[in-house]
């Protein structure tokens, strides 16, 4: 994984923890609903960034599989962030 990807993962983790931690997708959605009402462009940008992040993780996973590398860490990240 590149340094930029690791920074993005760390940033997304901090953002999601701000929304209530890893066990609270409802809090994240409630917060984003509030943001959507007050700052729709910010919420749209976050949603777009999150979608791009998951696409990157899926692409990275495919490359790992193609090269016979272990995908367990990427699988964990994908399942963690897809659940939000």
Residue 4: C-alpha distances to residues 14, 22, 32, 41, 78 (Å): 15, 22, 25, 24, 17
Q: What is the pLDDT of residues 41-61, one digit of tens each?
A: 888 887 888 888 889 889 999
pLDDT, position 6: 62
pLDDT, position 71: 94
| 31-37 contacts at long range (C-beta below 8 A, 24 or more positions apart) | none
Q: Looking at residues 21-31, what average pLDDT do you find?
A: 66
């Amino acid at each position: 994984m590149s340094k930029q990807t690791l920074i993005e993962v760390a940033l997304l983790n901090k953002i999601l923890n701000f929304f209530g931690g890893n066990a609270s997708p409802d809090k994240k959605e409630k917060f984003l609903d509030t943001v959507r009402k007050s700052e729709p462009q910010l919420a749209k940008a976050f949603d777009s960034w999150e979608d791009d992040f998951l696409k990157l993780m899926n692409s990275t996973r495919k490359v790992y599989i193609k090269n016979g590398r272990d995908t367990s860490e990427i699988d964990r990240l994908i399942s963690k962030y897809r659940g939000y």
